[in-house]
Amino acid sequence: MEKEKILKIAIDILTTKYSDEYIEELCNSGYKKFLLGLSKLDERQIIKVLNIHPEYANKKITGWHSLHYACLLNNPHILDNFMRKAIADGMKTLPTTEVIKKEIDSGLTLLNFCAFTNNEYSYAKVLTFLGNIEEQNFEESLRYGLLNGSYKTVKLINKIIGEEKSQQLMLEFFTSKHITQNGRLRENIDYALVETFKHNPSKFDDYGIDIRTTIVGKPNYFTSTLKLFLRDTYTIEKQGINTIKNYLRYFTSKGFDFDTKDNEGVTPRVYLNKFIDKLFDQSLRDQLINFLPEVEKVALDNVLEKSTLIEPKKIKI
C-alpha cells in the first residue's frame, strides 16, 4: 500500500468523530462500548451522552469505574464533565480500583491512579474535586509518579508539598523500610522504585532529584542502592556487570567516592567489596576489580559539592 494512502487512513482514524446519529446508536449499545469509544467524542457530544445517560459517569465495570476510563484519556474537559455528572448522579466519594491488573494495587485512590498511569492533567483535575485535600496521601502519589515515569505528575506533586519535603521523601523511599499492617516489611513499591533507578541512574537527573541530599542517621543514595546490589548478584551474573558499572560511573561523575562515610558511618567500599566477594564468576570479579581505578579517577576529578543535610522530622503534608 502506498505511503500516502497509509498516512491518510491514519489521519482519518485520528480525526474522525462520531456523528450525532452514531451517538444515539452508541447510547443504545451500552456504556461499555461508550467508554471504549470515549476519546473519539468531542466535549459537546460527551455532554449530550451524559445528559441521556447520566449513570454512564457513575458505573463500575470489572474492577474499573467510568472515571478511571475518563482519567486514562488525560483530558480535563472530558473528566470534568464525568466528575460533575457522577456527583450529580449521587456519587459521594471518588472510586478506588478493585481487582484490576496485578501491577495496580487494589484500593488505589483515583488520585494515585492518575499518578500511577502518568496522567498529570487528570491528576490536577481530580485535585480540584477533592474537598479533603489535606487528607490526600501525596507521599504515595510521589512513589507512583517516580515509579512510572510521570515526570509532569512528579513536578506537580513537588509544587504541592514543597521542594525540601519532596527531596526528603524521595531519599526516604530509598533508605527506609516501610511496615505494612500485618507487620511485614513492605518492599513491593519501594523495591520496584529503587530497581528502576538502579538500572537507569540518569533518572535521578530527569526527576530533579538532588542526590547530595542526606538525612541524619540514614544512608545516602549511593550506599543505600549498593546494598540492593548485594541482593541482586544472581541477576548481575546472568546479565553481566554493565548495570553496576553504569551506576558507579554515574555517582563518581557526581563527585561521590568509595571511602567517605555516609550518615550511618559506612563507606560505599564496604558494600562494593561485599558485592565483589559474593559474585560466583571469577571473571566478573576480575572485570569489576579492574574497572574500579577508572571510576576512582572520575571521583577525584569531580569533587562533591556540600551535601544538603536534613534533620529527620515528622512530615506534615
In the chain the first and final C-alpha atoms are separated, in Å, by: 57
Which residue matches cell numbers 540492593?
Answer: 228
Residues 6+ apart with CB under 8 A from 94: 67, 109, 110, 111, 126, 129, 130
Domains, the chain, in order of start with CATH, read: 1-137 (1.25.40), 162-317 (no CATH)
From CA 86, how far away is CA 176, in angstroms rounded?
39
SS3 content of the chain, % helix, strand, coil (to 5): 60, 5, 35
From CA 141, how far away is CA 114, in angstroms rounded?
9
> Tens-of-pLDDT digits for all 317 residues of the chain?
566 666 666 656 555 677 777 777 777 777 777 777 787 788 888 888 888 888 888 888 777 888 998 998 888 888 999 999 999 988 888 888 876 655 666 778 899 999 988 889 999 999 988 877 777 888 888 988 888 878 888 888 988 888 888 888 888 888 765 544 444 444 566 677 777 888 888 888 988 888 888 888 888 889 888 887 887 777 777 777 888 899 999 999 988 889 988 888 889 999 999 988 888 888 888 999 999 999 988 888 876 555 555 454 443 33
> Per the confidence metrics, is the pTM higher than 0.85?
no
Residue from 178, 198, 204 nearest 189 by CA:
178
Residue from 80, 64, 58 nearest 124 by CA:
80
| E strand or H helix that includes residue 291 | helix 282-301
Q: State whether residue 186 is helix, strand or coil.
A: strand
From CA 82, how far away is CA 47, in angstroms rounded?
9
Residues in the chain: 317
